[in-house]
Chain A
Amino acid sequence: MRAPSSAVVAPTCEAVLGHDLPGLDEYRRCEVVDFVCRRLSTLPVHMRWGVAVIAFVVDGWRRTTGTNRLIALSNRPLPLLGEYFRLLRSLSIAYVWETWPDTRPDGRAA
């Protein structure tokens, strides 16, 4: 297993963004998800592997239980899983406000 594939990361990242920043338009959301996937592929090897495993498990959970339960899971302070969601959120949030500083708190463009 090498880099976490964007096929398993992107849907989770989109779901989390859709919940945290519901007003973010689709074009921007795609750009953020692209950025997050690119960043995950440059993590140190062991982190990349760890993230790939967790991303795979989380994606499976999302497919079987749906987005609402995924979001509930993402808000629980679980070891490792919690770190994964935190990583997705920090990369996304940093990118959104660095790229479009006047974004509203719900993700809408100013």
Chain B
Amino acid sequence: MSTTDYRCDVLVIGSGAGGAPTAALLAEAGLDVIVAEEGPWVDQGSVVPFSLEQMDRQYRSGGVTVALGLPSVAYTEGRCAGGGTEVNSGLYRRPPQEVVERWRTNWRIDDLDPDAIDVLAREVESALSVQPLPGPAPAPSERLRLGAERLGWTHDESPRWMTYPTGDSRQGQRQSMTRTYLPRAMSAGARLMTDCRVDKLRLGADRVEGADVEFTNGRRATISCRAVIVCAGAIQTPALLQRSGIRRNIGRTLAVHPTVKLAARFTDELNVPDDVPVHQVKEFAPDLSFGGSASHPGLVALALLDQWEDFRDAVVAWREIAVYYAAITSQGRGRVMAVPGLRDPIVTYHLTRRDRALLCSGLTRLALLMLEAGATDVFPSYRGAPRVKSRRDLATIEDTFSATRASVMTVHLCSTVPMGEDSDRCGADSHGRVHGFANLYVNDASLLPDAPGVNPQGSVMAVALRNARHFLAEGWSRV
């Protein structure tokens, strides 16, 4: 196997919501940037959204990854150019001001001004064309809205990073990183190296000198640079740092939004296999929120699986069924641990007693919401679940639900290298520089000190823009 050397000013590891804007800003400022991305480039439209083929091509480990615990929490990570932004639902939320303020005070983050973050969020919104649907929402979304309205619960439509060239809501084009910040980075001269996994950072005393990489075809290479910015996502960033020997406050405080699901059957054919609902119910936010999931027939069958003997008859009616979730802002935490000799990290997550209770009340309320929306049958996803046909059945959920019997999962992962000046708790400083290193930075979801309680990509990107600009203003001249 041959060894090739590459050189650049800044090596950005990962091309997702954190990496792509970082690379664009640095390249546009004239720096020589290499973006190393483990996954392939997959043209949008070449795979069916939310399909098994998409999981094969654009997710890590085909989408089958688990944080061990009681219960274990299934999670998924994008693994392709653009990272999670290519596969996600595209639902945008501006970072809530009170959350930013909480991060600033609780984690002693310098210069984290909620108003300044708001300005950056607007910049993200404009770059990604964040907007509401130009026409009616898909039927499963309308049902959610209807149920909330009948119960008098707060709800709204989440805008998305989509354009609608034909004006048809069903023909949106996702403005993910491969359509926005990555082309910007490349036209400013950044080199994107796909199928290129960074194995290890090369460390000096208090500096990083470069990285060892391996391409999918087995070729190995070394990249030398003056600074490294790790944007490999909340699981892989701490894993890479740990593999490289950096462990202090790294990977110990994983935070997620755990979700539980149900399938709801209506009297008409409302299923939209390749899209997700845009309405979200915020009555109990930030502790608890409700929304809709992808619902192609395979996913409907999966939602029925936990009680298959009793629920399976419904699968033939998948066109009348949509899948919904209840998400909580968890107080639990997890760990990411790179084990020498193992390519993948071990991930654990611990739900607190309050989290489990919240999952139960979330699922019960979500079932109520579905009944109000006109569902004839509701199928909660846990072993021993009742088929809910009327309000009377809701008490049975409360009696029989336990988180350990449920399919708990998450797609929102963060906080494994929290930023801030509290060096007892934080892995990076207020602008993402890893403590103890002059030229090593993190700039992705790992930096968010805790789960924001809303869809996180907007927060990840706003923080990434902030830190990239700070790096250009102050960090670069010092490396």
Binding site for B on A (CB under 8 A): 20, 35, 39, 42-47, 77, 83, 86-87, 89-91, 93-99, 101-105, 110
Contact = CB atoms under 8 A, between A and B. Distances in A.
B296 interface: yes
Interface string B50-84: 01100010001110111000001000000000000
Interface of B: 51-52, 56, 60-62, 64-66, 72, 296-302, 305, 308, 312-313, 315-316, 318, 339, 342-346, 383, 405
Contact of A77 (B51, B313, B344, B383): B383
Contacts of A96: 298, 301
Contacts of B300: 97
A44 B65 contact: yes
A89 B305 contact: yes
Nearest to B273: A101
B52 A89 contact: no
B344 A93 contact: no
Nearest to B308: A20
B394 to A, nearest CB: 24
11 contacts: A20-B308, A44-B61, A44-B65, A45-B342, A45-B344, A46-B339, A89-B308, A90-B305, A96-B298, A98-B52, A105-B316
A93 B316 contact: no
A22 B307 CA distance: 17
A94 B72 CA distance: 20
Given A20-B308, A46-B339, A97 B61 contact: no
A43 B301 contact: no
A44 B344 contact: yes
Contacts of A97: 297-298, 300-301, 315, 318
In the complex, which of the residues A35, A42, A87, A95 has the most CB atoms of chain B within 10 Å of its own CB atom?
Answer: A42
A90 B302 contact: yes
Contacts of A47: 61, 64-66, 344
A94 B299 contact: yes
Contacts of B344: 44-47
Given A44-B61, A83-B72, A105 B315 contact: yes
B297 A101 contact: yes
Nearest to A104: B316
Given A87-B64, A89-B308, A94-B299, 6 more contacts: A42-B61, A45-B343, A83-B72, A93-B301, A98-B297, A101-B297
Nearest to B302: A94
Contacts of B383: 77
A98 B51 CA distance: 8
B312 A43 contact: no
A102 B302 CA distance: 15
A93 B72 contact: no
B338 to A, nearest CB: 11
A59 B343 CA distance: 27
Contacts of B342: 45-46
A46 B346 contact: yes
A97 B295 CA distance: 11
Contact of A98 (B64, B298, B346): B298
B468 to A, nearest CB: 30
Contacts of B52: 35, 94-95, 98
B157 to A, nearest CB: 28
A93 B305 contact: yes
A94 B298 contact: yes
A93 to B, nearest CB: 5
Contacts of A87: 64
B267 to A, nearest CB: 19
Closest CB pairs A-B (n = 9): A98-B298, A44-B344, A101-B297, A97-B301, A94-B298, A97-B297, A105-B312, A97-B298, A93-B301
A43 B64 CA distance: 6
Contact of B62 (A39, A83, A98, A102): A39
A93 B302 CA distance: 7
